[in-house]
Chains A and B, each alone.
Chain A
Amino acid sequence: MKILNSASALAIAAITFAGGTAFAAEKELVIFNWLGGSERDLIIALEEGFTAKYPDYEIKDINPAAGGDDPRSGIRSAMLSGEEFDLLLNTWPSFEKELVAADLISPIDAAWEQYGWSSALNDSWRNLAKHDGKTYGAYFIAGNRSGVWYRPDTLAKAGIAGEPTQWKDFLSSFSALKEIGMLPVSIGARSWAQTEWFENALLRTAGTAFAKELSEHKVPWTDDRVKETFRNLRDMLEADCCAEPGAMLSSHWTDAADAVLKNKKAGFMLIGSWANQRAKNEYGLTPIKDYSYMQFPVIKPEYGNAMSVDGKNFLVMKQAKNPEGAELFIDFVLSKEGSAIIAAQNLATPSANVDPSSYDPIVRKYAQILPLVDVFFVLDDLLPAELSGEFRIGLQKFLRDPSDASIDSVTAALEAKASELYQ
């Protein structure tokens, strides 16, 4: 973490040096930044980079120390009580939709054309933040949510030659892992990490177009393709992939990461690209050499190109006192300088202005395929919060009992909740 900080500090220093003399700040930009830990450091670094380049701006960073697990509650409370800010950091498309519906954020299409952001972001990223034909956000961080992490030495020990990129090979690799006394797959299903398995299996079973329809409730949850996804996951459970349900339901993704990457007790785990930070900073491992990941194994070849992603963008508030400054900040974040700060913090940006060679090898591995694949935003963040709650519990029920009857009742419960919520 220290090294990263000094790296970005260097970048800032360089920019300051190039930017020339500092002026007294005249314009204020208020940013609502609810992140914690090293991600918060990144936002601060971006803010410092911005004020270094545009010295007549002063940035006020509101950090509600959200501590809890869903920062949306803190954001909503702040908004309801009349907190005023120009830019809001966001990571949930479903929340974006809520903000659009409540008429709280402004579209940024005019700025998009004015600054020519299309040269930085392709249309698939722009579409992720489009609601009713208007663009509301520009993604500046992109994460891989389809990475199945493993240790190369574990696979070598089990005699698994190469990554099992096909579903069949993946399932048949389990017996080799069990022979060397390892749990094939570790799933931390205590709260939400089980959804990653379903979402990726869904993309590989039914493709992104179907997933989009499902997220908008244009197809019911009782659709056979949803059930087929469950049945594919059942194949995995029946191949004896995992620990007993109770162990899955009481562990976090962090426990899964510990088991696979650090303690060498399990073979594979599925989690977002932030596992890289944990492996590097907390386990002290060397990327690629000690640990790596493959994309979720291909179930149906026609959907082999699908990839689950997450991302963060800034939204311009309707009440913004300084909308021009807000747009200028977005432009900075997507620019070469902004991208360099992001890359220095070991995160990937979808902006074309980034220099890919500055990435960490793990980040580079997925950043390179980003422009080539069919991206779909992580489903759990697209669903209304209440449906997402039911979704997580439904998957817990499925892990305990993967029978056909259980699949029917889980999908029926999801459908009932969805039809109540979407109307």
Chain B
Amino acid sequence: MSVQHGSILTSQTQAGPFAGLANRLFGGNLRRADWIAFALLAPTLIFFSIGVLYPLFETIRVSFLDWTGLSQPKPAGFSNYTKLFRDANFWNALRVTLTWTLACTGISVAIGWSVALISGLAPKQTAPFRVAIFAAYGISETASGLMWLGILQPDFGLLNGILRLVGLEGWASPWLGEPSTAIWGVVAAYVWTQAGLPLLTCYAAIQAIPKSQLEAAHMDGASHFQILRYIMAPLSLPGVRIAIFINLLNSLKAFDMIHILTAGGPIRATETVGYFMYQESVIYFKQGYGAASTVVLLLAVIVCSIPLILDKASESK
């Protein structure tokens, strides 16, 4: 692919009208194709710079300041960072984040993908169910959190109510009050809100499979399960990939749900890095310290996502 593509690109190296300026700006030899690339990117880069990059640079700058409460900020060198790595609560938050993101992403994508695959076998009849699952995606985390509070609450919660009803009283538990189960309660609630996205992307990928291909397989005597396993599953992988990506990063940012259900507790059992950041910079107003934890989280995410993005980048050439 890259061979033919490259040949097209190199054939278009005549200078554009602003090539001179661009060459000075970028210090290199910008070809016409580069110009087109930047023209296509320009709107994106403008919004991105104001709305994201600028605040991000501010955050990095603040992470090197000792800035607590309403006092005047003082330069602090790397002290916020060294303190962060000695902070047991930060390490706890990292551990919780790892469990949280993996569980939320894994479970929500597994559910969404399975539902998409199964409903691919009977798209019309299962449409209302897809809509119901996706509808949850349209409800704010705050509202879903309130609903799940009603399900997981120890005395009047629906879950314990059902357990008592079917005679499993021994299983009834204050789900959100025990440090060992609290995180799973919040994961369940979060998966409930997030499963709609993998369903959407996977189902779209399945729908994109040419009808003829499925019909041919059916003619050849393939069972429903075989069609599901050997045609729909592999061909819906792009949908799975994008869903993993979006849900992973979304769960890293998750805040409202945790805030409503457990507020990071009990005893920090559900305190993710996102929540830690919120607490340090918003509640304790340790701006510098909170900023440092943001930067660390960001670096960690970048390091983890390099393989993903580089793979995709090389794939496309």
Which residues of A line the B interface, CB within 8 A? 68-70, 72-73, 76, 79-80, 98-99, 101-102, 104, 190-191, 243-251, 255, 259, 265, 385-386, 389, 393, 396-397, 400
Q: How far is the CA of A72 from the CA of B282 in the complex (A)?
A: 9
Q: Which of B256-289 contact A (CB under 8 A)?
A: 262-263, 265-268, 279, 282-286
Which residues of B line the A interface, CB within 8 A? 69-71, 152-155, 173-178, 182, 262-263, 265-268, 279, 282-286
Q: Which of A73, A191, A250 contacts B285 (CB 8 A)?
A: A73
Are the CB atoms of B284 and A385 closer together than 8 Å?
A: yes
Are the CB atoms of A249 and B283 closer together than 8 Å?
A: no
Whether A386 touches B284, Cβ cut-off 8 Å, given contacts A98-B69, A101-B71, is yes
Are the CB atoms of B70 and A247 closer together than 8 Å?
A: no
Whether A102 touches B70, Cβ cut-off 8 Å, given contacts A190-B265, A249-B174, A249-B265, is yes
| CB-defined contacts of B175 to chain A, threshold 8 Å | 250
Q: A70-B283, A249-B177, A251-B155 are in contact. List 5 more A-B contacts (CB 8 A).
A: A68-B282, A98-B69, A249-B176, A250-B182, A400-B267
Q: How far is the CA of A73 from the CA of B281 in the complex (A)?
A: 9
Are the CB atoms of B265 and A385 closer together than 8 Å?
A: no
| CB-defined contacts of B70 to chain A, threshold 8 Å | 76, 79-80, 98-99, 101-102, 104
CB<8 Å pairs between A and B, sample of 28: A69-B263, A70-B283, A98-B70, A101-B70, A102-B69, A102-B70, A102-B71, A104-B70, A244-B174, A247-B155, A247-B174, A249-B176, A249-B267, A250-B174, A250-B175, A250-B177, A250-B178, A250-B266, A251-B153, A251-B155, A255-B155, A385-B285, A389-B279, A389-B284, A393-B267, A393-B268, A396-B265, A400-B267
Q: How far is the CB of B214 from chain A (nearest CB, A)?
A: 48
Are the CB atoms of B267 and A73 closer together than 8 Å?
A: no
| CB-defined contacts of B154 to chain A, threshold 8 Å | 243, 246-247, 250-251
Whether A250 touches B263, Cβ cut-off 8 Å, given contacts A102-B71, A385-B284, is no
Q: How far is the CA of A73 from the CA of B155 in the complex (A)?
A: 33
Q: How far is the CA of A249 from the CA of B267 in the complex (A)?
A: 9
B285 — nearest CB in chain A belongs to which residue? A76
Q: How far is the CA of A389 from the CA of B276 in the complex (A)?
A: 12
B157 — nearest CB in chain A belongs to which residue? A250
| CB-defined contacts of B284 to chain A, threshold 8 Å | 385-386, 389
Q: Which of A72, A191, A244, A386 contacts B265 (CB 8 A)?
A: A191
B69, B262, B263 interface centre (most CB from chain A within 10 Å): B69
Q: How far is the CB of A174 from chain B (nearest CB, A)?
A: 19
| CB-defined contacts of B285 to chain A, threshold 8 Å | 72-73, 76, 385
A104, A247, A249, A255 interface centre (most CB from chain B within 10 Å): A249
Q: Which of B71, B178, B268, B286 contacts A246 (CB 8 A)?
A: B178
| CB-defined contacts of B69 to chain A, threshold 8 Å | 76, 98, 101-102
Are the CB atoms of B177 and A247 closer together than 8 Å?
A: yes
| CB-defined contacts of A79 to chain B, threshold 8 Å | 70
Q: How far is the CA of A348 from the CA of B173 in the complex (A)?
A: 40
| CB-defined contacts of A389 to chain B, threshold 8 Å | 279, 283-284
A67 — nearest CB in chain B belongs to which residue? B142
Are the CB atoms of A250 and B283 closer together than 8 Å?
A: no
Whether A190 touches B263, Cβ cut-off 8 Å, given contacts A98-B70, A247-B177, A249-B177, is yes
Q: Which 3 A-B pairs give the minimum distances between C-beta atoms? A: A250-B177, A246-B177, A246-B174
| CB-defined contacts of B173 to chain A, threshold 8 Å | 246
| CB-defined contacts of A72 to chain B, threshold 8 Å | 283, 285
Q: How far is the CA of A386 from the CA of B70 in the complex (A)?
A: 15
Q: How far is the CA of A390 from the CA of B305 in the complex (A)?
A: 34
Q: How far is the CA of A250 from the CA of B160 in the complex (A)?
A: 14
Q: How far is the CB of B89 from chain A (nearest CB, A)?
A: 9
Q: How far is the CA of A101 from the CA of B177 in the complex (A)?
A: 39
Q: How far is the CA of A359 from the CA of B175 in the complex (A)?
A: 42
A400 — nearest CB in chain B belongs to which residue? B267
| CB-defined contacts of B268 to chain A, threshold 8 Å | 393
| CB-defined contacts of B266 to chain A, threshold 8 Å | 190, 246, 249-250, 396
Are the CB atoms of B176 and A250 closer together than 8 Å?
A: yes
Q: How far is the CA of A80 from the CA of B267 in the complex (A)?
A: 32
Q: How far is the CB of B132 from chain A (nearest CB, A)?
A: 28
Q: How far is the CB of B131 from chain A (nearest CB, A)?
A: 30
| CB-defined contacts of A396 to chain B, threshold 8 Å | 265-267
| CB-defined contacts of B71 to chain A, threshold 8 Å | 101-102
Q: How far is the CB of A57 from chain B (nearest CB, A)?
A: 28
Q: How far is the CB of A400 from chain B (nearest CB, A)?
A: 8
Q: How far is the CA of A30 from the CA of B310 in the complex (A)?
A: 54
Q: How far is the CB of B170 from chain A (nearest CB, A)?
A: 13
| CB-defined contacts of A393 to chain B, threshold 8 Å | 265, 267-268
Q: How far is the CA of A104 from the CA of B71 in the complex (A)?
A: 10
Q: How far is the CB of A192 from chain B (nearest CB, A)?
A: 9
